[in-house]
Amino acid sequence: MESTIIKSRNFNASFGTNHVVKNVNIDIPRNKVVAVMGPSGCGKTTYLRCINRMHELIPGASSSGEMTINNENIYQMHPIFVRLKIGMVFQRPNPFPNLSIYDNVIAGYKLNGIKLPKPERDRVVEHSLTRVALWGEVKDSLNKKGSFLSGGQQQRLCIARAVAMEPEVLLFDEPTSALDPISTSTVEELFHELKANYTLIIVTHNMQQAARVSDKTAFFYLGELVEYDETKIMFTAPKDSRTQNYITGRFS
Amino acid sequence: MEIKSVKYRIGKNYGFKALVIIFAFACVVPLLFILSYILEQGITKINWRFLVNVPRPVGETGGGIVNALMGTILIIICASLIAIPIGILAGIYLSENKKSRLAYWSRLCVDILQGVPSIVIGIVAYFWLVKPFGFSAISGSVALAIMMLPIIVRSTEETLKLLPASLKEAAFALGMPFHRVIFKVIVPVGISGILSGVMLSIARITGETAPLLFTAFGNPYLNFKIWKPMESLPHVIFTYATSPYDEWKDLAWGASLILLVWVLLLNIFTKLITRKWKVQL
């Protein structure tokens, strides 16, 4: 019996009068990888950003409906606590350019004013970087700036930064679309490792990636959740004709 | 095409290039001329006594301008203490709220303020501060702070606007509250641009004479009390250069050189800071 961590009921989101996410009902199981796929402009990224309340930072954005984490309503919690529980990795690697690699990993503590003793900090940095398979590559250059790394390394650094806060859920917004194929496969391998400790929700416009990395897949089309099922079923026997058309490449 | 016409076009091309180079050089000439002239006139007047003595009465040699030097430094420090916090915070507001009504009006007012002649600002400071409280250095600082504001506000705004939105998102996604995002992430990354605006605004007000005529007034003695009249470099140049006495004219030349060197150093320093503290995005 798998337990649900994130649940949304009749969830809607819009920018001004533009209704981008329509009546989405979804249950995200704990410690699984869930891929959200769909053509551009289908509301998948907006939905993802609603989960940790990044959506409301955009002027004119609004949302309604129910979104819970562990049966607690996300929209009645303070956004700061929501974002501490639900980490996020963005489309383009965005390490803090003024901070060293070490400080980037610890940024969630350092910049939030949470004081950790030095050995504890060292432990968090090593642990987080090891989790994202970056420790070996950067352990001798922790004092160099984050922007010194390659694109793929920067993205793993950003994942480490999110992991360091020990969230329950990690959101990935097209995490590999700015990366080369080798970095992409490194990051994809990471998803399998991270699954043991976190719940991952990955937005991707790449169907093969969804098929490779996820346990469950959701298909969004024109703001609606068309279908949501086990990845294997989604890609072999989709129930909805629109899903069928999408995965067979009849529209993109 | 005929060879002759091509040759003519090549010739025209060279002519145009030469013209552009001449005019580019023409911009450098006035500065070099001013620099060399002030240097020639001022360098012989500057010595240790010049820097540590107050002006002597006419007929006595060996006077200095320590009162004006200290006065200018104090007035600038006070003006900076007023203008820098207000300017940077207003700039942050403008860059964070690009479309709000307040931002629109605030931006408009800042732009207009930039165009207000310094003497008008001086008169306003005179009526607001000098009439009720008497001549004082601090009223001069307020007038200069008003002149610094637009430069600091606009340079802060422009710098912060250029920072990628992903930077702010990264910070928010880590659960940072707004003020920490601003002061721990946005400002440190944009610090070189903000500082260069601050330095340029200081360079700008250093030479302002008009507002100080009405406010800090001038004082032949060394004074560290900011609520009393105070001497400043531009004012000392104004009074002594127009005086009929050679000793006083010498003081004005020396003071001009010091002012010029100060502004040059500020500009060079700004360039260095911008280069050194620039965060590679």
The model's pLDDT over A184-232, given as tens digits with 9 standing for 90+, comes to: 888 898 898 898 889 999 999 888 899 999 999 999 998 899 999 999 9
Facing residue for A94 by CB, picked from B166, B180, B188: B166
- How many of the other CB atoms lie within 10 Å of CB of B84? 21
Nearest CA in chain A to B100: A59
The pair of three-digit structure tokens given for residue B176, joined into one six-digit string: 């940072």
| Cβ contacts of B189 on chain A, cutoff 8 Å | 96-98
CA distances from B97 to A55, A141, B105, B157 (A): 17, 38, 12, 10
Most confident of the ranges B150-164, B202-216, B224-238: B150-164
Check CB contact under 8 Å for B164 and A111.
no
Q: pLDDT tens across B105-148, in order?
A: 999 999 999 999 999 999 999 999 999 988 999 999 999 999 99
* pLDDT number for residue B24: 93
Facing residue for A54 by CB, picked from B173, B176, B189: B173
- How many of the other CB atoms lie within 10 Å of CB of A122? 14
| Cα radius of gyration rounded to whole Å, chain B | 24
Question: B197: pLDDT confidence band, cut at 50, 70 and 90?
Answer: very high
Tell me which amino acid residue B120 is.
Answer: V
Instruction: Give dist(CA B91, CA B106) in Å, integer.
Output: 10
Whether the per-residue pLDDT at A102 is higher than 90: the answer is yes
Check CB contact under 8 Å for B176 and A80.
yes
CB contact B51 to A (< 8 Å) = no
Write down the mean pLDDT value for chain A.
90
Nearest CA in chain B to A97: B281
CB contact B278 to A (< 8 Å) = no
Instruction: Give dist(CA A54, CA A155) in Å, integer.
Output: 19
Whether the per-residue pLDDT at B48 is higher than 60: the answer is yes
Q: Looking at residue A202, what DSSP letter applies?
A: E
> In chain B, which among 144-183 make CB contacts under 8 A with chain A?
164, 166-167, 169-177, 180
* pLDDT number for residue B182: 93
Closest CA to A169 of A242, A67, A97, A93: A67
Question: B217: pLDDT confidence band, cut at 50, 70 and 90?
Answer: confident
Whether the per-residue pLDDT at A1 is higher than 50: the answer is no
Lowest-confidence range among A178-182, B80-84, B264-268?
Answer: A178-182
- How many of the other CB atoms lie within 10 Å of CB of A224? 16
Closest CA to B211 of B127, B151, B140, B138: B140
> In chain A, which among 179-218 make CB contacts under 8 A with chain B?
none
Between chain A and chain B, the number of residue pairs with CB atoms below 8 A apart is 71
Check CB contact under 8 Å for B281 and A88.
no
* Class of CATH domain A4-247: alpha beta
Facing residue for A98 by CB, picked from B175, B176, B188: B188
* pLDDT number for residue B1: 61
Check CB contact under 8 Å for A111 and B171.
yes
Average pLDDT over residues A84-100: 91
The pair of three-digit structure tokens given for residue B142, joined into one six-digit string: 């307020």
pLDDT above 90 covers what percent of chain A? 52
Tell me the domain boundaries of chain A: 4-247
* pLDDT number for residue B173: 92
Check CB contact under 8 Å for A57 and B172.
yes
* pLDDT number for residue B120: 93
Nearest CA in chain A to B165: A94
Q: Are strands A72-73 and A86-89 parallel, antiparallel or unpaired?
A: unpaired
CB contact A100 to B (< 8 Å) = no
Q: pLDDT tens across B147-169, in order?
A: 999 999 999 999 999 998 889 99
Residue A202's DSSP bridge partners are: A35, A172
Check CB contact under 8 Å for A97 and B180.
no
Q: Which helix (H) or strand (E) holds A10?
A: strand A4-15
CA distances from A31 to A121, B31, B113, B204 (A): 26, 69, 58, 60
Nearest CA in chain A to B178: A80
Average pLDDT over residues A47-67: 90
Q: State whether ipTM is beyond 0.85.
A: yes
Instruction: Give dist(CA B24, CA A125) in Å, integer.
Output: 54
Check CB contact under 8 Å for A80 and B177.
yes
Q: pLDDT tens across A2-32, in order?
A: 688 999 999 999 988 889 999 999 999 999 9
* pLDDT number for residue A252: 56
Nearest CA in chain A to B176: A112
pLDDT above 90 covers what percent of chain B? 54
Average pLDDT over residues B42-67: 82
Distance of CA A20 to the CA centre of its chain: 19
